[in-house]
Amino acid sequence: MTPMVDVRAAHKMFGDLHVLRGVDLVVQPGEVCVVLGPSGSGKSTLLRCLNELEQLTGGSVRIDGELLGYREDEAGTLHRLHPSDIAKQRSRIGMVFQRFHLFPHMTALENVMEAQIQVLKRSKAQAKAKSVELLERVGLGDRMDHYPAQLSGGQQQRVAIARALAMDPELMLFDEPTSALDPELVGEVLAVMKDLAAGGMTMVVVTHEIGFAREVADHVVFMDEGVVVEEGPAAQVIDGPTQDRTRDFLAHVL
């Protein structure tokens, strides 16, 4: 089976700062992969490289077998893809941000409709029907005409999830989706994510929610200082870590 995400020997430099130092990551279709690690470990950078918001300095990312950002010719030379082709690749990968990044000048409904119309060229009616369905699914059927500023953080993040799902992505990326939320609002977002996982969506989640990782993740990756320190099934990594660094980290967050 072709893995949904296949990262090989990923390196990322920001100037002189070596953020990713040879990361390999394989996520199978339908799998939920949770990436844990202290801040500055490179986990968010890794996630942003999975949809070309950041470009790798070395190594490769394949999504569903397709090389991200480049075309490889017979001689093995890489050719950078045209921005519109990269945009097309991105449209198949949903991303949810820590700070939501909803479009403040559009209602919840318009936020979810926008890219369907602009990118997928769906008709307004089609886009609207899809958006209503998704907003109802994330429990916001009665908030569709609200602007983001009129919604709570948890509601905004659920709209952001609906906005990403509207593109019918084959992969969803979550970059600390609950870190900017008040504690009592975290649950509603995690519930939507659990529902999504149960529906078979392939997900890569960067989070500090160990409980969520233990309950939902098929596969947990622990990163530190730009490398994968330890990975495996959730129960193994979280409850029986073999590396000291993993144990230290878990002792601090649990």
Partner 1 sequence: MTTASSTDPVPNRIHARPVPRPGRWVAAVIVVVLAAMAVHGLVTNPKFRWDIFWLYLRDVTVIRGVGWTLILTFGSMVIGVVLAVILAIMRRSDNPVLRSVSWFYIWLFRGTPIYTQLVFWGLISVLYPTLSIGIPFGPEFVTFQTDVVITAFWAALLGLGLNEAAYLAEIVRAGLGSVDPGQEEAARALGMKESRILRRIVIPQAMRVIVPPTGNETISMLKTTSLVLAVPFTLDLTYATNAIGNRLFEPIPLLIVSAFWYLLITSIFMVGQSYLERYYGRGTGTERPRRTGPRRPRFGRQAAIKASGTAKDDPFLEVTP
Tell me which residues touch partner 1 (CB under 8 A): 51, 53, 83-84, 87-95, 97, 99, 101-107, 114-115, 118-119, 145-150, 160, 163-164, 167
The DSSP code sequence of 233-248 is -HIIIIIS--SHHHHH
| 26/117 with CB nearer partner 1 | 117
**Least distance in angstroms from the C-beta of 110 to partner 1:** 8
Least Cα distance to 90 among 123, 124, 60, 66 occurs for 66
> Which position has the token pair 């330890």?
230
**CA torsion through residues 151, 214, 239, 97, sign:** negative
| 12/163 with CB nearer partner 1 | 163
| 24/64 with CB nearer partner 1 | 64
Total residue length of the chain: 254
**Least distance in angstroms from the C-beta of 22 to partner 1:** 25
| Pairwise CA distance, residues 126 & 15, whole Å | 45
Six-digit token string for 211: 């409980």
**Residues forming beta bridges with residue 10, ordered by sequence position:** 23
| 2/118 with CB nearer partner 1 | 118
**Least distance in angstroms from the C-beta of 107 to partner 1:** 7
The answer to whether 178 touches 190, Cβ cutoff 8 Å, is yes
| 14/240 with CB nearer partner 1 | 14
**Least distance in angstroms from the C-beta of 114 to partner 1:** 7
| Pairwise CA distance, residues 8 & 245, whole Å | 23
**Least distance in angstroms from the C-beta of 8 to partner 1:** 23
Six-digit token string for 150: 């009129």
| 203/213 with CB nearer partner 1 | 203
**Least distance in angstroms from the C-beta of 12 to partner 1:** 17
**Least distance in angstroms from the C-beta of 84 to partner 1:** 6
Please calculate the CA angle 160-92-133 and round it to the nearest 5 degrees.
45
| 36/172 with CB nearer partner 1 | 172
| Pairwise CA distance, residues 109 & 13, whole Å | 38
